[in-house]
Amino acid sequence: MLAGSLVVTGLFPHGPSPLPDRLADTGGGSQLITAVAPAPGSTTGRVTWWDRRAGHWFEAGSAPARFGANGLTEGATRTQGTNTTPTGLYDLPYAFGIARAPAGTEVRYRRVGPASWWCQDNASGSYNRWVEPLPADCAPGEAEHLVSYEKQYAHALVIGFNYDRPVRGRGAGIFLHVNGRGATAGCVSVPERAMRAILRWANPRRRPHIAVGTESGALAVTRY
């Protein structure tokens, strides 16, 4: 019986089960990123990336993370411009960067150029989309000129928040990217070394997702 218990609970039979085992959903793939803050008002926390092998989740890497300047909020009801990071479970449509993709990157990686923008204009037909060049219906003041964020967008992964069927006013341009000077405008950020490691780790055939939330409470990551 003891040997069986060791197999079921993994490498640490006397500790808590791995975080992915406690989530309501992990997206159905065998790779997962968790981005967890201590509380809704936190601007820092931790990102961990996980592999599922032989029916069990194993930690592949971990790094300190930064969140929105105003903390985290429920993704389903988030309001654009609030500098909050949306909680929830999301896919990762593709990666991009000003720098070349790290060697070994398998996810689709789009290079940022002088004409690359992310449209956040609620009146535009390109709302919450990469555009190149900036279309006439997307005001420059309502878009991010990606090449202007040399440090943050050296490497990034698009987080599929409000992406497939964008709801106007909910928010646009939520990414996992390299740290800037401090808290983000709503994205999740990690040190550059960690971002490069995540890009080398992510395998599109394994359907990686990201779960964003707090350690406990109404926005607990385990709800998603």
What whole-number distance in Å separates Cα of residue 219 and Cα of residue 57?
Answer: 22
Q: Mean pLDDT per 10-residue run, the chain (224 residues)?
A: 35 73 98 98 98 97 98 98 98 98 98 98 98 98 98 98 98 98 98 98 98 98 97
Residue 75 buriedness (CB in 10 A; 0-12 / 13-18 / 19+):
buried
The predicted structure's pLDDT at residue 103: 97
Nearest to 196 by CA among 175, 178, 174: 178
- For the entire predicted model, the pTM comes to 0.93
Take residue 86 and report the two structure tokens written for it.
């949306």
For the chain, how big is the Rg over CA atoms in Å?
18
CA distance linking residue 57 with residue 215, whole number of Å: 18
Q: Tokens 């535009």 — which residue? A: 124
Question: 3-state SS of 148-202?
Answer: HCCCHHHCEEECCCCCCCCCCCCCCCCEEEECCCCCECCCEEECHHHHHHHHHHC
The predicted pLDDT at position 191 comes to 98
What number of CA atoms fall less than 13 Å from residue 187's CA on the CB side?
Answer: 19
